[in-house]
Amino acid sequence: MNNRNLAGAVPDVALKPRYLPFVDGKFTASSDEVFPAVNPATGEHLADLTRGNSRDIDAAVAAATAAFPSWAATRVEERCAMLLKLADALEGDAERLALIDSLDIGRRVFETTIDHTIAVGQFRFFAAAAVTHSGWNRSIPGGWALAKREPYGVCGQIIPWNVPAIMTAFKIAPALAAGNTVVLKPDENASLSTMELCAHVAEIFPPGVVNVVPGFGEEAGAALTAHPGVAKLAFTGSSEVGRLVSHAGAERLVPVTLELGGKSPNIVFPDVQDLDALVDNVAFAATYCNGQSCLAGTRLFVHDDVYDRFLGKLVEAFRRMKVGSPLDPATTISCLVSGEQGEKVLGYVDIGRNEGAELLVGGNRVAVPGNEHGWFVEPTLFAVDNQMRIAQEEIFGPVLSVLRWNDFDTMIAEANDVRYGLAAGLYTNDLANAMRAADALQAGSVWVNQYFNMVDGSPFGGHKESGIGSELCAETLNMYTHLKSVTLAAQLPQPFYLPPAA
């Protein structure tokens, strides 16, 4: 492998030539068909991945089904101790795994390192939360009424390519903590770090508890969502595919949780004083992960009173960002995940121009020395009308739409006037502004004065077409269990139903 940063160093990440599905505690495959993992920045071949098919899914579900009774019966303290061991193993391997993600998806190492820190936190959080996760009980005359929480069984999980370490943890940790077994399909554009994680899983968990099958959505993904042995589905990705997963669940009447797209508003009130700090956080909200984030604050509402001063600073900040190699520590914006994604983003830039939006900065593909294969897109800023497509549709790239506002009710109406409702941000020194706006915004998460301010234990989920259910929090354990009602009477009641004997 020859993946060099600008200084010429070659990161040693010890990738395997080929990755097989991880089924029943070992790496095995039903066929020799593979697809390549390619560095999106350089075009270099990283490894081959088995193209998982329905037979691999069948084997994985069978292994998870066989493992489920024993795993569900394992004391919660033991299950959680294993999650803590996995967190420790992931933490010890985080530097290497973060490099693998950077090579695999084109994001800068600074960001993928944060991803693995968040992933470690999720395994530890659910290891703690599961110990106190319980149902309900109350006393009744002559006994007790209670409801106990029980795992569903085999959980089929599908994750996207943008933050593979986080998504893997978001799915696996609560499912295992609650006593379920798992069959996970990583995205075909970002499977390497998840497959590497399986080596740690094999050392810690019983065979069959965690199974991972790489492959394509229309093959392995479709087989997983339709499989009669899967008792629950969980998906993160686009709203369009989310509908397909939801339909698959409805066909078999199994529960489905979805974390889908977003077009999140970020609101600047006129009382904000530190415009430089504000510019920094707004730029971070829009371009972190190269804008390839469902959470991104991609619609910026700026009040008239500060619009001109703030916008001048924001344009200058976008020009100051460095577009460069994912392995260069000085890089701010790195490579999009694929040529397809790059063409989509630049297509939206053209749409914005054609709609009459004012292009303030950016909008071009950039050639980065040594990474000419990659799709590097400048951080891009448009002044828009809220009804324009670039203000309504999820772009998944470093493109920010700016809107001017002066009336609170009109601004809130426009902020909510999209089909999504995943996240929102706002900046104000006035508590009344913060509370009023937070109540009015149709979003699963509202961050005040710091965008992306996610904390282990705080619910994360969407309204409207942004999904169903919450991740990251204790409530997530409820989504991976169902309630069984048990009523206990101390003794038989006095006869009351049948006529007395003759």
- The catalytic site residues sit at 259, 294
Total Cβ atoms within 10 A of residue 393: 16
Distance (Å, whole) CA 64 – CA 126:
20
Question: Are 287 and 350 within 8 A, CB to CB?
Answer: no
Question: Are 213 and 28 within 8 A, CB to CB?
Answer: no
Buried residues in 282-320 as b, exposed as e (16+ CB within 10 A): bbebbbbbbbbbbbbbbbbbbbeebbeebbebbbebbee
Which among 407, 485, 441, 499 has a CA at the least distance from the CA of 144? 485
DSSP 8-state symbol, 251: H
Distance (Å, whole) CA 354 – CA 375:
22
Under 8 Å CB-to-CB from 76, ≥6 apart: which residues?
Answer: 130, 131, 133, 177, 179
Give the 3-state DSSP-derived string for 420-468, with helices as H, strands as E and coil as C: EECEEEEECCCHHHHHHHHHHCCCCEEEECCCCCCCCCCCEECEECCEE
Which among 399, 170, 171 has a CA at the least distance from the CA of 263? 399
Distance (Å, whole) CA 225 – CA 254:
10
